[in-house]
Structure 1
Amino acid sequence: MNKKELEQKIAYLESINDQLSTEVTYIDQLMKMIGFAGGLDTVKATANEIIKKGYNINNLPE
């Protein structure tokens, strides 16, 4: 790749990064609004605890 192509690729990747960052921030806000006080960090911790206890989509308690 030449310099111009690399600059175009960098600009494209920066644009994608901005979009993803905006989405993550929005999802974090939504999670806080529905009761996950720490946003995505709390969601991840909760999911890890559920997995650690052996639950998965096929064996959820009723």
Structure 2
Amino acid sequence: MPPNVTLLDLVNAVARHARSEAEIMATVVYLVNRGHVRLCGTFKGTRFGTRFELEALAVA
């Protein structure tokens, strides 16, 4: 079962190893959306949309 973490804890953990904010964002989105971690707290159950998903919604 994937570990439950808060979004803040996840961002802080990734930021210790990332070289840029873009890398932090990409890694967090990947880990959450692929189910490697589960968010708890305020963002419990949240998944993140990609730019392509958001553009498709705007067109529809």
* Same fold, TM-score > 0.5, yes or no: no
The structure number with the bigger radius of gyration is 1
TM-score (norm 1): 0.31
Say which structure, 1 or 2, has more relative contact order (CA 8 Å, 6+ apart): 2
